[in-house]
Amino acid sequence: MNRPLRRVAIFCGILIMALLLRVNWVQFVQGENLAQHKDNRRVKIAQFAQARGDIIVGGRPVTGSKQVPGQDFKYKRTFTDGPMYAPVTGYASQAMGMSLLEKTYDSVLSGQDDRFAFQRARDVLTGKPLRGGSVVTTIDPKAQKAAYKGLTGLGARGAVVALEPDTGKVLALASAPSYDPSVFAGMTFKEGDRFKALGAEKSKPLANRALRETYPPGSTFKILTAAAALEHGVVTDIDASSDAPSPYPLPLSTNRIGSEAGDGVCGNASLKTAMQYSCNNVFLDAASKLGPDKMRETAQKFGFNEDVYSEDFGDLLANKSLYPERLDKPGTALTGMGQGSLTSTPMQMAMVTAAIANGGKLMQPYIVEKLIGPDLSPIEKHEPKLKSQAISEETAGSVREMMEFTAREGSAKGALIDGITVGGKTGTAQRGVNVDDEVPYGWFVSYGKNADGASVAVAVFIDPTDMDISRDDISGGKLGSPIAKQVMQAVLTE
């Protein structure tokens, strides 16, 4: 062979070798990633090639599948009471993708999960269509309905979270305004336009306010400040005078902060009285004496400064609630009353309340009870898991005493239920530098326990921006306590 031909042959051999190496690299190294890539049309076709399994609430499916003729995507997702359950289920859209439980458990719901391999092979041999598994949630349908109807009845933007304190089960997870995932579940241009319109709405119906939005928690945070003060020995007697003047001089500032109950009631008030009337001065003083490190330490034991994530199932992810790392003296004092640069999700405040109701034990929240295979056999079950011992049982008992006193004799009376032990705390949170620029948020947290020992902890968040209401009528007690009461009744009395 002459030299030019030899060079051509060698060059062609190198090209063939490179091609073989590339094919093997794509097939064996990148194969899994490419197979699961969001833009791989075959993946989307497989997701909707058969009826998806169901997401189940209270023993009944809240999702379904509808056959769509003449398309690659043979089945379209349907939702029962879509707006009420959207913060739980998320959406499964042929055009827009998936979110929340629909996304997390897509392999189970679509029947692609490796744990179904034997059943898939058996179905192929017997000629049965591919079937999906189901996701059984912890949601209590009565509590969910009470939460959602309470929010929509007010015409408010807001959220409600209800937890079972001794297990961490999520009993209700509502956000308003909401959306119906069915209206953009398909592949048409009209459905795509509907999704874009929802995303453009000022009221943000696609936002999950219970998990993914953070706000200043206002006076509901005072239950954590009280716990920190007792846990670190800054307060040893909840009935003793605090020696905190009212109005309270903010450290390193000329500002003096008063309380709605008045200086006569709040001046030098005990921690118990301060909880009853939501006296700002006592909690500002407690946070100042504790300092930022001890306040932050206690907040972090309740779950602040980390994502809320169910490690076992990976089904619940809430944005991080923030107790800031760097605080000066006035900033630290303001966190004592739930203001300043402090932020929280409604889920986080429900966790704080649940831990106090559960003797200081914070359980990991979870929203999926178990996974079921196509043949209805259980394939995975969640077990309750202790997240942290946030505070001692003694401290938790003292905070409960104050919260129950506040429900009986103070600002949380709106949540009282006959025959149920109820503890509560109201909250009104200012936002912005100039508090007169925007209407405040309303908060309410509570727990209830019946004679049989069943319990529930609830956090209610209200953004009254869209409400026709005067500024004087915006408070957690007026707006949030009736919703919390209805949710607790749904769990404990019905």
pLDDT of residue 313: 52
Is the Cβ–Cβ distance between 290 and 227 less than 8 Å?
no
Of 380, 410, 445, nearest to 165 (Cα)?
445
pLDDT of residue 75: 87
Of 232, 243, 228, nearest to 274 (Cα)?
243
pLDDT of residue 50: 79
Strand partners, 318: 308
Of 279, 406, 302, 291, nearest to 353 (Cα)?
302
In 293-436, the DSSP E strands lie at 308-309, 317-318, 361-363, 368-372, 378-381, 386-389, 421-429
Counting Cβ atoms within 10 Å, is residue 61 exposed (0-12), middle (13-18) or buried (19+)?
middle
Domains of the chain: 218-368+388-492 (3.40.710.10)
pLDDT of residue 77: 93
pLDDT of residue 20: 76
Q: Of 134, 219, 270, 411, which one is the catalytic site residue?
A: 219
pLDDT of residue 26: 62
Angle at 227 between CA 342 and CA 432, to 5 degrees: 20
219 carries an active-site annotation? yes
How far is Cα 370 from Cα 407, in angstroms, rounded to an integer? Answer: 36
Distance spanning both ends of the chain, measured CA to CA: 93
CA distances for 360 relative to 270, 298, 338, 391, angstroms:
22, 11, 20, 5
Please give the chain's pLDDT, 494 residues, in tens.
Answer: 577 777 777 778 788 887 777 777 666 666 556 555 555 556 666 667 678 999 999 999 999 999 887 666 788 999 999 999 999 999 999 889 999 999 999 999 988 888 877 676 676 666 677 778 999 999 999 999 999 999 999 988 999 999 999 999 999 999 999 999 999 998 888 888 999 999 999 999 999 999 999 999 999 999 999 999 999 999 999 999 999 999 999 998 888 999 988 889 999 999 999 999 999 999 999 999 999 999 999 999 999 998 776 555 556 678 899 999 989 999 999 999 999 999 999 999 999 999 999 999 999 999 999 999 888 888 999 999 999 999 999 999 999 999 999 999 998 999 999 999 999 999 988 876 555 567 889 999 999 999 999 999 999 999 988 776 656 656 667 889 999 999 999 999 96
How far is Cα 273 from Cα 324, in angstroms, rounded to an integer? Answer: 28
